[in-house]
Structure 1
Amino acid sequence: MRYKFLFISILIMIGNTLFAQNWVNVKDTESFSKWQDFVLEIKETYAPDGRDVYLSVYDNDSQEGEYIIETSSTDILTYIQDQKKASGLPFTVKLLPDDNLKGHVKGLINLSVANLRTRPSHSAEMATQTLLGTPVDVLKKLGGYYLIRTPEGYLAYVDHYGVELKTENELNDWSTSERAIFIADYGHAYKEADVESSRVSDLVLGNILMVVEKNGAYWRLKYPDGREGFVKSSQLTDYNDWKAMIKPEADGVLEVAKRMVGVPYLWGGTSIKGVDCSGFTKTSYFMNGLIIPRDASQQYRQGEELDVMTNGDLDVKKAIDNLKKGDLIFFSASKETNPRQPITHVAIYMDNGEFIHAAGIVRINSFDPAADNYDSQSLTIVGARRYLGNENFIASHALEDKQGY
């Protein structure tokens, strides 16, 4: 078991480096070498995590010996401009979103579950997923892919079938229209108000569509790209009513989490079709009105730190006393070999030492060695965080305050 999770941690570290791969792309590396430390310092200071800040450096083809720094960070733009005034640096900053998008810098996910990649290629690793109706920022186009930023600030590439580009005004029209959210686990939209008719697409928990007409047993709904389909009304609820009803509370988070018991583990997965560990926690919180960070390591950096450890190891009694339902428990597969203890797994605490997590499948285990469902992976626990009940955290992560929702 321990070797299995060490292997997973290695994969995680490899995956994270893919975001930084080829971020410097210049032809004359010898001439560029004198600027290498400068751009590395920029990356370490302003863009240490390629999952949430885009940074690319390449030749300026119109001016020999000069370079373009392409980035999503206004901090990098300001820094380079200030430095350039002082010392005449050979860098020009191109701030995303790209002007070539011609104002279509917003988007709506157009598939029930869209796969987002670490690079603009179907063969690239899946970084995460987003659900139908999710509003995103569109930063640039590369071939048949778009670099997008999800509501939690995660950067990845989606193919053009997965996102419908919008202007700011068009996104506002969508977000102020009457919408419906799909509340069943799985289902379909049909060409006609009849399950025997042709299918428009599949649907999953959390999908959001525009309402065209409500008519008894079926609602006619519109996709971001204009397609229309009929969906059983029993599988839907009015989106605004749903938003008003949901609360960031532990019982609700655990109710969604338990609905996914038995769902298979899927690297990068964030839907009821398949989830990874942090996609599972993200989805459980999202369906209760909170948009939390995407990856386990990012989730670990936020919230209230909880006292569950003694001398570097989990203290079972202390943990049971101090944890509350809905708290997040974090693990490090390389805990015994790496002093940095990179976070490689996350679970949601239930009660009495039990937690629910995506590991192979979504399942319920205990960190109490005396329990029948004890999981030895508990030996790798390194900490816990609380989001619920934290007013500052909830205020800054509430779904209702995100543009497009």
Structure 2
Amino acid sequence: MLSLVPLRAEPSNRAELVSQLLFGECYEIISRQDKWLRVQLATDGYQGWIDANQHNAVSAAYYQEWKQAQHPRAMDLVQVISNADERIPVGIGAYLPFFDGMNVRIGEQTYLYNGRASNPESEATIAQLVKVAYNFMKAPYLWGGKSVFGIDCSGFAQQVYGICGVQLPRDAYQQVTAGEEVHFVNQTQPGDLAYFDNDEGRIIHVGIVLEDQKIIHASGEVRIDTLDHNGIYNAARKRYSHKLRIIKRIFQA
């Protein structure tokens, strides 16, 4: 049982990190190759390879029960899940399966969790979403990362929205299909998602809009920059870092 498991593009420790499995997250095994398992996440359908040594098996009944339930997410930056035999560090965004306010159930094992947790039964507000986003400030950029210790732009958007009860796809080019378009930057509201493309028109970056035409996004680190109709302006470097393509709204004010 681990707090994070690398999800790789190919069955090799040298392969590209495409995402990460979070504590408490379920997946289905698609195929096997030597000591590697190709898995598909139950949350967003994303696929990749994990080391079989990092696999934690659960029953088919648990897996089906997990998929049908809504699970709280850890809200503390770092916390510990424990039982009589082990202590596991978990970060913000970790899944807390079948959390009853004190205990988490993973397969046949029960663990104690003393930290803060989200409430999947209550509808999140824009203010709460922005507050969650600020918790990731200064998290270093990591391609394929989804934790406060390393995260990429789409992983950041997915984590923030996921903690607030909205499941987004994994990658920015997939996320852009969600929500309703906002036509002008001066019509944005906090929580809107701004997407940016490259010279070939491919969506390569996403960030979360804040008040006063600011944006919080993962670029080198989770940081706040200025957003205008051209894109993201990095004041420290005195240049635009990303070219704006489209803005989408998930939460309605």
TM-score computed with the length of structure 1 as normaliser: 0.54
Q: Which of residues 126, 131, 145 is equivalent to 2:22? A: 131
Partner of 1:149: 40
Q: Which of residues 119, 124, 128 is equivalent to 2:10? A: 119
State how 1:279-318 maps to structure 2 within 5 Å: 279-308=155-184
Q: CA deviation at 1:175?
A: 6.3
By relative contact order (CA 8 Å, sep 6+), the higher-ranking structure is: 2
- Residues 163 and 209 (structure 1), Cα distance of their counterparts in 2 relative to 1, 3 Å cut: farther
Matched, 1:274 2:182: no
Q: CA deviation at 1:148?
A: 1.5
- Residues 346 and 267 (structure 1), Cα distance of their counterparts in 2 relative to 1, 3 Å cut: same
Q: CA deviation at 1:326?
A: 0.9
Aligned partners of 2:70 and 2:120 also within 8 Å: no
TM-score computed with the length of structure 2 as normaliser: 0.84
Matched, 1:244 2:121: yes
Q: Which of residues 348, 355, 358 is equivalent to 2:218? A: 358
Q: CA deviation at 1:181?
A: 4.4
Deviates more, 1:261-270 or 1:110-119: 110-119
Q: Distance in 2 between the 1:300 and 1:157 partners? A: 25
Q: CA deviation at 1:246?
A: 4.2
Q: CA deviation at 1:209?
A: 4.2
Partner of 1:207: 94
Q: CA deviation at 1:158?
A: 1.5
Aligned partners of 1:111 and 1:163 also within 8 Å: no
Partner of 2:191: 326
Partner of 1:44: none
State how 1:160-199 maps to structure 2 within 5 Å: 160-173=52-65, 181-190=73-82, 192=84
1:60-103 C-alpha deviation (Å, 9 max, x unpaired): xxxxxxxxxxxxxxxxxxxxxxxxxxxxxxxxxxxxxxxxxxxx
1:366-391 C-alpha deviation (Å, 9 max, x unpaired): 1259x99587335611221122239x
Q: Distance in 1 between the 2:81 and 2:150 partners? A: 20
Q: Distance in 1 between the 2:70 and 2:170 partners? A: 28
1:203-233 C-alpha deviation (Å, 9 max, x unpaired): 112323457997xxxx454444x555544x2
Q: Distance in 2 between the 1:126 and 1:152 partners? A: 17
Aligned partners of 1:147 and 1:157 also within 8 Å: yes
Q: Runs of 5+ in structure 1 lacking a partner?
A: 1-109, 193-197, 309-318, 391-405
Matching residue's letter, 2:120? K
Q: Runs of 5+ in structure 2 lacking a partner?
A: none
Aligned partners of 1:190 and 1:230 also within 8 Å: yes
Q: CA deviation at 1:165?
A: 3.3
Q: Distance in 2 between the 1:372 and 1:275 partners? A: 19
Aligned partners of 1:189 and 1:202 also within 8 Å: yes
Matching residue's letter, 1:301? T
Partner of 1:383: 246
Matching residue's letter, 2:94? N
User: RMSD across aligned C-alpha pairs, in angstroms?
Assistant: 3.1
Partner of 1:348: 208
Matching residue's letter, 1:158? I
- Residues 386 and 259 (structure 1), Cα distance of their counterparts in 2 relative to 1, 3 Å cut: same
- Residues 246 and 207 (structure 1), Cα distance of their counterparts in 2 relative to 1, 3 Å cut: farther
Aligned partners of 2:9 and 2:49 also within 8 Å: yes
Matching residue's letter, 2:188? L
Matching residue's letter, 1:132? F
Partner of 1:72: none
1:86-128 C-alpha deviation (Å, 9 max, x unpaired): xxxxxxxxxxxxxxxxxxxxxxxx4211210001111111000
Secondary structure at the residue paired with 1:123? coil
State how 1:27-38 maps to structure 2 within 5 Å: none
- Residues 134 and 372 (structure 1), Cα distance of their counterparts in 2 relative to 1, 3 Å cut: closer
Of Structure 1 and Structure 2, which has the larger fraction of its residues in strand? 2
Q: Whose Rg is larger?
A: 1
Secondary structure at the residue paired with 1:283? helix
- Residues 367 and 181 (structure 1), Cα distance of their counterparts in 2 relative to 1, 3 Å cut: closer
Aligned partners of 2:130 and 2:210 also within 8 Å: yes
